[in-house]
Amino acid sequence: HRRFDYRPKTDPYCQARYTFCPTGSAIPVMKEEDVIEVYRLQAPVWEFKYGDLLGHLKIMHDAVGFKSSLTGKNYTMEWYELFQLGNCTFPHLRPGMDAPFWCNQGAACFYEGIDDAHWKANGTLVLVTTISGSMFNEMARWVKYDNETGIYYETWTVQASPDKNSTVWFDSYECSKFILRTYQKLADLGAVFKKIQTNYTSIILFSGEPVYLGNETSIFGPQGNKTLAAAIRNFYDPFKPHQSVSEFFVDLFRIINRVILNHQFYLFYNLEYWFLPMKSPYLKIIYEEVPLPVASKASFGV
């Protein structure tokens, strides 16, 4: 996933249904000698329980919790879409604009408190490691860098087949990937993680080798490819970005129908368009184990 030099200003056209990070606060500087417990937080995205089909999908949201021994204060950190999931997955087709218009950014949100009832009752709240205050402060600096340079949310993982060692053409970039990067950073700083099973949700598309199509200017600009531009607009036409999570899944199944009928998918990734020659089983939602990281030998003594 490409890193960018800065986060672009959001366009006023992009309106969120729910405010992003409403109670967010700055990450505090911890005393170096503090001992901080790190918790794995995971719960189903509860909107999914409406409708039988969606209730059986293991669609989970991931976050990480911290508890300071010196102050007794709890904190939650997570990463999610600024304008909700539909906007990160589907563009707006705006009158008078040739190119699809994307309202797509994701970012970290940090706030005081852990909603114990939410995570415990519906999912997971489990201690995974303990770190020092100085490690926490190092992590906070890394979060700032990660947040300023990894700006676009990416819903889909795209791979060649369901096999374990299959080629991954494109990797998703969403809430769980941020949590995995955070754990890895803590491991690099010397954190030792407990041996517990940790699973994450992925939405995977299956495709032959992707074909690079170009960027917005080369496809939709004055010298662009009118036929290709029309095909991309046509592909995105049935999908509506402003929607609830349950409506998003109705659109997801619409996509599956089109993809299976036509064996094609147009992917917008890192500001570029790709054509995916889709193949069976086309799309899968999986909930699979990703182990907690092992501290690298070089990091001991940090």
Q: For 188-234, how does the pLDDT look when each residue is reduced to its tens digit (9 = 90+)?
A: 999 999 999 999 988 899 999 999 999 999 999 999 999 999 999 98
- Who wins on pLDDT, 239 or 119? 119
- Written as six digits, the tokens of 152 are 């676009």
Say if 55 falls within a structural domain. Answer: yes
| Same domain membership, residue 60 and residue 119 | yes
pLDDT, residue 194, reads 95
Q: What is the pLDDT of residue 145?
A: 95
Task: Give the residue with greater pLDDT, 276 vs 260.
Answer: 276
Q: Could you tell me the pLDDT band of residue 48, with boundaries at 50, 70 and 90?
A: low
Instruction: Establish if 174 belongs to a structural domain.
Output: yes
| Predicted confidence band of residue 299 (pLDDT cuts 50, 70, 90) | very low
Same domain for 220 and 197, yes or no, is no
Does residue 52 register a pLDDT over 50? no
**Which of 7-16, 21-30, 282-291 is modeled with the greatest confidence?**
21-30
- Do 62 and 159 reside in the same domain of the chain? yes
Q: Check whether residue 116 and residue 253 sit in a common domain.
A: no
State yes or no: pLDDT of 53 exceeds 70: no
Q: Are 175 and 273 within one domain?
A: no
Q: Which region among 43-47, 160-164, 207-211 has the lowest average model confidence (pLDDT)?
A: 43-47
232-241: pLDDT as tens digits: 998 988 777 6
User: Left (φ > 0), alpha (ψ -120 to 50) or beta: where does 150 sit?
Assistant: beta
Question: 249: which 2 tokens?
Answer: 């899944």
In the predicted model, is pLDDT for residue 88 greater than 80?
Answer: yes
Confidence of residue 160 (pLDDT cuts 50, 70, 90): very high
H/E element holding 129?
A: strand 124-132
Give the pLDDT band (50/70/90) at residue 1.
Answer: low
Question: Looking at the domain assignment, is residue 82 inside a domain?
Answer: yes
Tell which residue, 168, 169, 177, has the closest CA to residue 150.
177
Query: Are 111 and 181 members of one domain?
Result: yes
Of 141, 175, 202, the residue at which a domain comes to its end is 202
Number of structural domains the chain divides into: 2
Higher pLDDT, 192 or 90: 192
pLDDT for 300 equals: 46
Supply the pLDDT for residue 57: 63
Q: Is 21:216 a contact under the CB 8 Å cutoff?
A: no
Instruction: To the nearest 10°, report the CA torsion of 254, 257, 261, 264.
Output: 60
E strand or H helix at 183: helix 175-188
Residue 285 placed within a domain: no
> What mean pLDDT do residues 36-46 have?
89
- pLDDT above 90 for 59: no
Q: What are phi and psi of 279, to 5 degrees?
A: -145, 160
Same domain, 130 and 275: no
Considering only 13-22, 33-42, 111-120, 169-178, which range has the smallest mean pLDDT? Answer: 13-22
Domain region containing 184: 35-202
What's 222's DSSP letter? T
Task: Supply the residues annotated as catalytic.
Answer: 61, 175
pLDDT category, 55, cuts 50, 70, 90? very low
Query: Dihedral, CA atoms, 20, 21, 22, 25, nearest 10 degrees?
Result: -150
Residue 101 is given by DSSP the state B
The count of other CB atoms within 10 Å of the CB of residue 196 is: 12
Residue 172 resides in a domain? yes
Q: Are residues 165 and 43 in the same domain?
A: yes
Which of the pair, 244 or 139, is modelled with greater confidence?
Answer: 139
- Is the pLDDT confidence value at 247 over 80? no
Q: Is 137 exposed, middle or buried (0-12, 13-18, 19+ CB in 10 A)?
A: middle
Tokens in use for 110? 């940090």
Predicted local distance difference test score (pLDDT) of residue 128: 97
Q: What is the mean pLDDT of residues 140-163?
A: 94
- Other C-beta atoms closer than 10 Å to the C-beta of 272 total 15
Q: In terms of domains, do 142 and 246 share one?
A: no
Of 129, 156, 91, nearest to 286 by C-alpha is: 156
Give the per-residue pLDDT at 301.
43
Share of the chain above pLDDT 70, in %: 92
